Amino acid sequence: MTLDQSLIFGILIIALILFIFGKWRYDIVALFVLILVALTNTIPVTRIFSGFGHPAVITVAAVLVISRGLQNSGLVDILTSYVEKVGKKPILQLAILMVIVMVLSGFMNDVGALALTMPVAIQIARRSGKSPSYLLMPLAFGSLLGGLFTMIGTPPNIIIGTFSPDGKTQLFTMFDFTPIGLSVSVAGLVYILTIGWRLIPDRKGQASADELFHIKEYTTEVRVPENSKVVGKPLSNLEKISNQEVTIIGLVRGKRRLLAPSGFETIWANDILIVEASPEHLKNFLDKGGLELTGEVEGSEVEEVIKSDEVVIIEAIVSPSSTIIKKNARSLHLRWRHGVNLLAVARHGERLNERLGRIRFEVGDILLIQGPKETIHETLSILGCLPLAHRNLRIGQPRRIILSVGIFGTAIALTVFGLLPVQLSFTCAALAMVLFKMFSLKELYESIEWPVIILLGAMIPLGEAMETTGGAKLIGDSLVTVTSGMPASVTLGLLLIITMALSNVMNNAAVAVLMAPIALSVSQMLQAEPQAFLMSVAVGASSTFLTPIGHQSNALVMGPGGYNFGDYWKLGLILSIIVVIISVPLVIFLWPLYPQ
């Protein structure tokens, strides 16, 4: 083993450890790894940032932008709105939901497709009186399976689709992935609808807001007496004396009602404050502020203040790309910066009764937020949270739908017929959607998942370093040695299983970047065609059914479904085995290892 190989393996081990333990977010890990690659000089300095101009990175960004355009057209909302009309049979509802999310995931960001259909699934579960847990995990797995349909369905497919062994020739076209993806998806769908759904744990999951958060039990009216020491002071003082553990969600002054009042609002004697607090925090709040409970009075203002035409209460889930992960409400200053109140937080189907200001948000947490109706959805977008219900339905306009689908279809046609490379055709489509005002420039940049872009741009040089230093060849040699004397199909299957295992504990795009050069080295060692080995990496990288951390879709449903970490393998293990059994012979059939 050479010094360069030792260095690159050391960096790879560090990367794997950091990815698996998740102390740093994956894009930070990738940048750290990139710096290590630069400092060890395992690739030329001029190539350090070359990954950010890689076709895979450009294509991923363009697909994310196009996904926003399709969403804004109203097409997706029209499709999902029909689900509730298919009847009340749970299996039929699950089948329709899975088919929709699979189709959407084949042509747009899979997390985006899941986020659009998840509120529909939760609403269906609530109406049927069942836990959402029986719908959400299959829905997440469906988004992963659907991503296998096309080259643009998921980042691993884009990476493999744009991977060029000689730097010139791409081995796959847009729909080369479809036979594998469609076969695996149909088999997965049949398994989940017949056997798999019985293996899903019946968790409490995402109940309605009233059932889950019991807001009325935590919301009360407080009067400001004339002798209170807070008279004449701004409302912000009140929250300071309560250590921000009491949320002021409304103020009533005679006939005047202030909903989600500003912290600069001056307190008057005899004001009625609508506050949200646990009993123990409420007592401390009353004592320190010299306030008094109004008691049970007629014409209570609580319901009218917390829910009105101007102010709404909305449930939202913390997405994997949210900027508030690992932060708490106190440090975010939600009221003063964004004009919203955080009323409650739930995790794994249970309301958290810790001090609200101290809860550090995690992926999948359910937040109950009160804010102005006109701006609440924009605020959620800024925070990186997805509404779980009461989402504004975009009414589909025929012109916008036809225009968005036409632009998207043209980009696909240009790619399929070889008139433009995928990264250029989809960039043109994204630009066309901007010019036709399918979204604003602000939405354009918001639609791009920058952590994923950073991850890919930073990890691609590591993959190149593995190849140029001979590290990938060394791993490939070891894999071939382990399967020595066995058919090449066994080596192919082992490569798929290793890729699948890694993808369940680290980001699947990073896995595809690392495994692609290894797949190429294995094919060269066996003197076989590379397509089958690269395709097995694509399939394995997207088959993350065993843990909630392997893919953003799995993490996204964990909170609303009330799942535990160990729940995923119960449904996902057999599904993973089905993927291996179907995809290995089919890949070899479509791309013979040793063509005559």
For residue 551 the two structure tokens come to 């893919």
pLDDT at 191 over 90: yes
What gap in Å lies between CA 52 and CA 15, rounded to an integer?
Answer: 19
C-beta of residue 26 within 8 angstroms of C-beta of residue 510? yes
Residue 485 lies in a domain: yes
**pLDDT at residue number 396:** 47
* Residue-range definition of the domain harbouring residue 317: 311-387
Task: Say yes or no: 449 and 464 in one domain.
Answer: yes
Domain containing residue 227: CATH number: 3.30.70.1450
Which segment of 15-19, 215-219, 402-406 scores lowest on mean pLDDT? 215-219
Task: Say yes or no: 166 and 29 in one domain.
Answer: yes
The rounded mean pLDDT for the chain is: 83
Give the mean model confidence (pLDDT) for residues 260-279: 78
Secondary structure string (H, E, C) spanning 92-157 = HHHHHHHHHHHHHHHHCCHHHHHHHHHHHHHHHHHHHCCCCHHHHHHHHHHHHHHCCCCCCCCHHH
**Confidence grade of residue 214 (pLDDT, cut at 50, 70, 90):** low
Which residues lie closer than 8 Å to 471 by C-beta, 6 or more apart?
Answer: 4, 5, 8, 9, 12, 465
| Burial zone of 71 (CB within 10 Å; 0-12 exposed, 13-18 middle, 19+ buried) | buried
Task: Say yes or no: 496 and 561 in one domain.
Answer: yes
Residue 123 lies in a domain: yes
Q: Within 10 Å of residue 270's Cβ, how many Cβ atoms?
A: 13
pLDDT, tens digit, 9 for 90 and up, residues 395-417: 445 677 888 889 999 999 999 88
Task: Say yes or no: 61 and 156 in one domain.
Answer: yes
C-alpha dihedral (4, 8, 9, 10), degrees to nearest 10 = 100
**pLDDT at residue number 279:** 64
Task: Say yes or no: 10 and 156 in one domain.
Answer: yes
> Which of 289, 306, 323 is a domain's end point?
306
Helix axes 110-128, 552-561, angle to 10 degrees: 20
Q: Taking the alpha carbons of 241, 247, 252, 258 in that order, is the dihedral positive or negative?
A: positive
pLDDT at 561 over 80: yes
**pLDDT at residue number 319:** 84
Task: Say yes or no: 492 and 511 in one domain.
Answer: yes
For residue 410, give the nearest of 385, 427, 435 by alpha carbon: 427
Residue 76 lies in a domain: yes
> Which of 288, 306, 324 is a domain's end point?
306
Which segment of 15-24, 32-41, 122-131, 403-412 scores lowest on mean pLDDT? 122-131
Give the DSSP H/E element, type plus range, for residue 341. Answer: strand 341-347
Give the DSSP H/E element, type plus range, for residue 525. Answer: helix 508-525
Which has the higher per-residue pLDDT, 565 or 166?
565
Task: Say yes or no: 101 and 173 in one domain.
Answer: yes
Give the number of domains in the chain.
3
Which segment of 238-242, 339-343, 393-397, 535-539 scores lowest on mean pLDDT? 393-397
pLDDT at 245 over 90: no
Which segment of 151-160, 239-248, 256-265, 302-311 scores lowest on mean pLDDT? 302-311
Task: Say yes or no: 195 and 218 in one domain.
Answer: no
Ranges 99-113, 142-156, 235-249, most confident: 142-156
**pLDDT at residue number 25:** 82
Task: Say yes or no: 277 and 218 in one domain.
Answer: yes
What gap in Å lies between CA 443 and CA 213, rounded to an integer?
Answer: 32
Ranges 64-78, 204-218, 371-385, 485-499, most confident: 485-499
Which has the higher per-residue pLDDT, 42 or 545?
545
pTM: 0.78
For residue 390, give the nearest of 139, 86, 126, 103 by alpha carbon: 126
Beta bridge mates, 272 = 223, 252
pLDDT, tens digit, 9 for 90 and up, residues 310-364: 777 788 888 877 888 888 877 787 777 777 878 788 887 677 777 667 788 988 8
Residue 113 lies in a domain: yes
Residue 400 lies in a domain: no
The residue count for the chain: 596
Go through 417-435 and write b for each residue having 16 or more CB atoms within 10 A of its CB, e for each that does not.
eeeebbbbbbbbbbebbbe
Which segment of 283-292, 521-530, 554-563 scores lowest on mean pLDDT? 283-292
Task: Say yes or no: 430 and 351 in one domain.
Answer: no
pLDDT at 389 over 70: no
For residue 314 the two structure tokens come to 């909305």
Segments of 180-293 assigned E as strands: 219-223, 247-253, 256-259, 272-276, 292-293
What gap in Å lies between CA 347 and CA 364, rounded to an integer?
Answer: 7
Which segment of 37-41, 297-301, 370-374 scores lowest on mean pLDDT? 297-301
| Burial zone of 297 (CB within 10 Å; 0-12 exposed, 13-18 middle, 19+ buried) | exposed
Which has the higher per-residue pLDDT, 216 or 238?
238
Task: Say yes or no: 426 and 531 in one domain.
Answer: yes
pLDDT at 160 over 80: yes
Residue 401 lies in a domain: no
Q: Within 10 Å of residue 228's Cβ, how many Cβ atoms?
A: 18
For residue 540 the two structure tokens come to 């394995």
Task: Say yes or no: 57 and 73 in one domain.
Answer: yes
Residue 433 lies in a domain: yes
Residue 595 lies in a domain: no
